[in-house]
Chains A and B, each alone.
Chain A
Amino acid sequence: RKEVEQDPGPFNVPEGATVAFNCTYSNSASQSFFWYRQDCRKEPKLLMSVYSSGNEDGRFTAQLNRASQYISLLIRDSKLSDSATYLCVVNRPPPGYSTLTFGKGTMLLVSP
């Protein structure tokens, strides 16, 4: 099983749509979870951290299920500017706990 696995995509959606991304991770000892966004040929940038109780930031909602080792990201009311690759990111368990492991990413294309 890959360390971090994501839907391969791409996801093509119209503006205003709701889209959900899924991610699974292999190591149950991982403790920190993130969604990063990467625009084409740019650096990854933090979109949001993912907390055990789930968390929301405007149109974005992240969920974590530790028992299933599953993370999700929901984007409501998609905008053209949401078009990017969404990276599921998990920290390594100790002793490498400060090191982040990236999924391959799911590309989102939002069309008018």
Chain B
Amino acid sequence: DAKTTQPTSMDCAEGRAANLPCNHSTISGNEYVYWYRQIHSQGPQYIIHGLKNNETNEMASLIITEDRKSSTLILPHATLRDTAVYYCIVRRGNRDDKIIFGKGTRLHILP
């Protein structure tokens, strides 16, 4: 499975856009990019996923580079409640592929 590299931690001012990078230089053509987050003392929460095209939902936007070797998760207007650990995960789209969580990025939203 392709591995991902994320910064250990990041800060972002409340109300600003939070841009979380992820490198996945060995990603295969049939592997998706998934993002989950884990707020303190809670279970992980699914945010968004994509294959090639940029994706947007009510929580965030996912920008995937044309070569698919990196991606950025964008929280457009960060709030204090977005303080969490964000996990970038690469997995195949077939039914037998497991989610493997790395160490993620600890995002601090500053008031």
A, B bound = no
Interface residues of B (CB under 8 A from A): none
